[in-house]
Amino acid sequence: MESFAFRKDSDVSGLLVRSLIDEKGLVRLHLDSYNRFIQSEFKKIIEEVCVIESTKGDVKIKAANPVLGRPIYDPWTGKQRIIPEVTEPDFVTRPITPMEARLRGLSYTVPIYCDFVITDGDDQYEAQQVLIGELPVMLKSSICVTNGLTKDQLIEIGEDPEDPGGYFIINGSERIIVSQEDLGTNHIFVEEGPSNSSVLTVSKVSSVTRTANRTTTQAELTKDGRIYVYILRSKIPMAVVFRALGFVTDRDIASLITRDERLQELLTQSFIEGETLATTESEALRYIGNRVLGGFTKSTEPKKRGEEIIATRLLPHLGTSNSQEVKTKKAQFLALMIERLLEVNVGSRQPTDKDHYANKRLRLAGDLLAIVLRNAVQNFVKDLRHNLDRSRGRKGRIQMKALVSANLLTDKIVHALATGNWPDGRTGVSQILDRVNYLSTLSHLRRVVSPLNRMHANPEARELHMTQWGRICPSETPEGVNVGLVKNLALTAIVSVGLTETESSRFEDSLYRRHGVQPLSSVTNFTGLQRVYFDGRLIGYHQNVHQLAEELRSRRRSGQISPEISVALTASPDGKPELVVTADSGRVMRPLIVVRNGESALTPKHIEDLATQRLKWSDLVAAGVIEYLDAAEEENATIAVDFETLKNSSHPEKYTHVEIAPWAIMGVVASIIPYSDHNQSPRNTYESAMAKQALGLYSSNFRIRPDSRGHILHYPQRPIVTTSGARVVGFEKRPAGQNVILAVAPFEGYGINDALIINKASVERGLGRSTFFRLYEAVEKKYPGGFTDKISIPEQTVRGYRGSKMYEKLDEDGIVLPETMLYGDEVVIGRVSPSRFGSQLQSVEGGGILQQDTSVALKHSEQGRVDRVIITFDKDGNRLVRVRVRDNRVPELGDKFASRHGQKGVLAYVVPQEDMPFTPQGIVPDMIINPHAFPSRMTVGQLIELIAGKVGALEARQVDGTPFIGEEPQSLKEALKRLGFNPAGVESLIDGRTGERLQAEIFIGVVYYQKLHHMVADKIHARARGNVQITTRQPTEGRAREGGLRFGEMERDVLIGHGAAALLKDRLLDNSDKTTVAVCENCGYFVYFDSRRGEYVCPIDGNKAKVSLVSVPYAFKLLMQELISLGISPRLKLGEVGER
């Protein structure tokens, strides 16, 4: 690893960010979330959900102590530990590596074992441990094989040491769970009611607990001054709900809600309404029990139902029991909701800013897996209960093994992950990991999607919010429908894991005991007291929350409480300070250097120790030098952008923090753009999209990976003009692009409209060469009835035989040999399958089984050499043959290239070297682009990169082009002059064709160019004749089907405009779906041809029909018949041309 030389701030920022990423990796969020899930969450879900009561008898089964896997011998570390396993079809279980899972199309999972405690009446049987299913394992998580392996060992098991992990392997394909952006749960949101409704203000909270799905509780103020609470979509007057919770008198309710008399007055209407409906607790409960939609409770008694609903459906995050303690908590919370509601209504408080990042939470792999697991276990329980009921007839001991169907749980989980369809109705939650290049992989793993998608067409949700600074990349977002909704995390963004339940309650306890927070119920005199909130709840009061905040922050910096706990001061509408303490999961935090009394807590000693690796990032956090702030706490901070600002400030003590790295506001992709601070901002957005299409070295184990398709650039290079971001992210270890000598000049008009001119000699010397891979596979399937596929060279008699020429590259075993050259449609793997109706035919004809050719052939428009042949067995024990074909791709006309500044272009002219212009030193550009690319796009960054690249090439070093802090353009110009070049980067060239000196000086230097994966070889397409669709008999569509090029409406308009009737008919009829139909002129229907009698027969007029043959489009004939099938009677009236 190269070390940063110490020159200035830029090195310090690079060092800090590098130490963060080296220690935590770029996919920490997924790993932390998953590890938390497997440590505690999964156990609790199974234990809480998996309770089975038999409907017959009183057998009760309870799951207890679920565990993941059993320690097995790990041959790589030589230890006994829990690692993923595979169960072969012969029931042998053995450890599996990720690469084996990929190669054989298996899932990378670990078994879940669970004890079942059975009680039959009073008898209790001893616990039985049973396999209940399998859980997919996240790569690089604590139970992954790769955990704790050295670099060499990783290589030995076929992994890329630089692979980030954070994804799953499901049926051989790599899938990620995309982080979902979510509004904060268990927090109160207040918003204005819809403008056209009678609702003025709404106060909402969505409660989330582990066992239940999320429930939303809503309070709203209507125009007639009444407040309603929604429970399960039923509208209940506010007073009734409070009475049901044990607060009966209006006075109690009013003082619980607020002590502000002005606000209390607003409650009058609600109290009047409540008076008429319920005056006691039991009346209120009955009212609720009668009102709330049925089907949720078994009980028929309204009061019982009311109690149950209040317990489980009203604010369940505060508890689901029926005790008065929980009820009081709920009443207090509801009171807070209503207070907020009123405050917003009178205008003393602003509605919640939904786009503020303090109000957002990210749901990561662990949270989302929990949803799947809960759903799967519920299904499992249902199935188990069914099996239990059936088995009750039999005598004897209950055998859990016989009752449990382990595949059920596994299939549910695997299915969700394999399709991305989540039980809660979301789609696209899991996606196939993007492996175009290393950056695209990382970016995919750090993607955040907002579920708001089409639902709310709220333009503000798409805009960049100021609180996204340092959390979400300002540049990297797609264009079009998803703009601003699909986001990417900034480099140093950290997602909170959240305290566990025990940690959380212990912390809350310490707030009371240690910090003197007075619990709500104990307070009688409110004067001089300030509110303290914890995880969205008002938990009590304190005399001086400023002091409390200081205490908590200093305890956090000294490592006594978790660094994740956020301590934010806000103000209530009356100007009193309030303290909001948050410790839940999914908050996006960012690290900052602490400033104490105007002095940075980070000292040169720290930096030196960090550079020599005596100190780690986490040491700095533990020492309180660096702390994590979430968006809520950041509102209290004053952050200096760099040390310089802090040092030169006249009031340094006003600063609380210093930014770690100004460039770390960018995400992984945007941070590779050099001098991006000089570009027009949309250009950085375009480049962020394009960098993900660049070819490079996506993974160092590409030779053994069975990717269904992939590209490898032959000579990937580190950029000469680099950025700290690119280094830190690992782009220089897995680069995607080449340094190219670029001239900005016109060239015979071939550069117009962003076309590129490339030097033929450069191409011949290897510039932009890449290899394309495609994987073909065939399974030798076994069918019921003893039939089986056979991988072999098909016999000529087989149905669908393609002619001997197509099979000639096959070896004896029916599979092509490595290094064989293959062309379009040639068979890669020969295979014969029993015909679908083979068994029936056998009995009818008595002959042998009819067989069908199901060989796998090379794609029609492709060619390539056989790279690798893999023969193995899939999870069902079927023989699996996978053949990878490679194709050498030399740049050709039409291939797409782009610089790192959103400047893309298509190759338009390959110029022989002798025709290229040359500099006095004899330098010939590799590429020429037209100067028109610059003025309107204002990608000044590329101009600076060109100069910087020239300096770097001449001085044989990499130039630091990090935005905001990179090498100054001015110093680069000076360097250029020192090196004997015009500082402007221009040179006097001689035209290679005429030998004349070009009149203008040409801007020439080195720019990093990316080859994008859109290549003509994959797109070129033409057809004269070919297949037609079966339904319409019109030519097929699309390159893959060898389709025709559509002669569309606009083209049709042209011919009509020109009056070219014959040509129009030629295009639309003669060369498309022309058919001849016979029509009966009497009835106007189609007639059929009776081939036995040799004549046309009209189904209506019989032989009396006057039959004429007409040429019509087949689609027209089809339309007629479809209309007839609908009971509509279309009749054709025939006549001669010109006749009416």
Partner 1 sequence: MSQTELSVKVIEDKPGLLTVEFSNLRREVLNGIRRTILAEVPTLAIDEVLFTENSSPIYGEYIAHRLGMVPIKTPDDPEILSQISIDIQGGNPPNMRVEYQLRAECPPQLGQPLTVSSDMLKPLGVEEARPVYDNIQLFKLGQNQVVELQATARYGLGKQHAKFSPVSPVVYIYKPVLIFDKTKDEPCDQHVSVCPTNCLEYKHGELVFTNPWDCILCRACEKACKSGATKIMWDESVARLTIEATGSLPPKVILKTAILILLKKFKLVSEKVGA
Interface with partner 1 (CB under 8 A): 703, 714, 760-762, 764-766, 769, 771, 819, 865, 867, 886, 888, 912-914, 918-924, 976-984, 986-988, 990, 992, 994-997, 1001
499 secondary structure, DSSP code: -
**For residue 440, what are the β-bridge partners?**
none
Label residue 90 exposed, middle or buried (CB < 10 Å: 0-12, 13-18, 19+).
Answer: exposed
Query: How far is C-alpha 1132 from the chain's CA centre?
Result: 56
Per the structure block, which two tokens stand in for 37?
């899930």
User: How far is it, in rounded angstroms, from Cα 103 to Cα 791?
Assistant: 19
Taking the least distance from each CB to partner 1, the nearer of 97 and 701 is 701
Question: Quick one: CA torsion of 654, 656, 657, 658, rounded to 10 degrees?
Answer: 10
Per the structure block, which two tokens stand in for 940?
């000044």
Do 384 and 52 form a contact (C-beta atoms < 8 A)?
yes
Nearest-CA neighbor of 376 among 37, 133, 67? 133
Per the structure block, which two tokens stand in for 936?
């309107």
Taking the least distance from each CB to partner 1, the nearer of 682 and 766 is 766
Taking the least distance from each CB to partner 1, the nearer of 277 and 923 is 923
**For residue 85, what are the β-bridge partners?**
95, 109
Q: What separation in angstroms does the CA of 186 have from each of 284, 449, 468, 877?
A: 25, 21, 22, 49
User: How far is it, in rounded angstroms, from Cα 595 to Cα 654?
Assistant: 9
Q: Which residues of 418-432 are buried (b: 16+ CB within 10 A; e: fewer)?
A: bebebbeeeeebbbe
CB of 833 to partner 1, least distance (A): 34
Q: Hey, how many other C-beta atoms are within 10 angstroms of the C-beta on 338? A: 28
User: How far is it, in rounded angstroms, from Cα 143 to Cα 140?
Assistant: 8
Q: Within a 13 Å sphere around the CA of 164, how many CA atoms are in the beta-carbon half?
A: 34
Q: Hey, how many other C-beta atoms are within 10 angstroms of the C-beta on 200? A: 16
Question: Quick one: CA torsion of 415, 421, 423, 425, rounded to 10 degrees?
Answer: -170
Angle between helices 969-978 and 940-955 (to 10 degrees): 40
Nearest-CA neighbor of 59 among 114, 123, 115? 123
Taking the least distance from each CB to partner 1, the nearer of 155 and 1077 is 155
DSSP 102-144: HHHT---EEEEEEEEEEEETTEEPPPEEEEEEEEE--TTSTTS
Q: What separation in angstroms does the CA of 51 have from each of 55, 116, 127, 129, 662?
A: 13, 9, 14, 15, 53
CB of 144 to partner 1, least distance (A): 26
Nearest-CA neighbor of 808 among 797, 795, 793, 798? 793
Catalytic: 754? Answer: yes
CB of 97 to partner 1, least distance (A): 19
**For residue 181, what are the β-bridge partners?**
362
User: How far is it, in rounded angstroms, from Cα 525 to Cα 512?
Assistant: 17
Phi first, then psi: what are they for 91, rounded to 5°? 70, 15
CB of 767 to partner 1, least distance (A): 10
Taking the least distance from each CB to partner 1, the nearer of 956 and 1109 is 956
Nearest-CA neighbor of 585 among 500, 498, 504? 498
Distance, first Cα to last Cα, the chain:
87
Taking the least distance from each CB to partner 1, the nearer of 626 and 858 is 858
Catalytic position from the list 74, 115, 754, 1066: 754
Taking the least distance from each CB to partner 1, the nearer of 609 and 867 is 867
Nearest-CA neighbor of 1010 among 1096, 858, 897? 897
Cα radius of gyration rounded to whole Å, the chain: 36
H helix or E strand, kind and range, residue 1096: strand 1095-1097
User: How far is it, in rounded angstroms, from Cα 1098 to Cα 1091?
Assistant: 13
Question: Catalytic residue positions?
Answer: 754
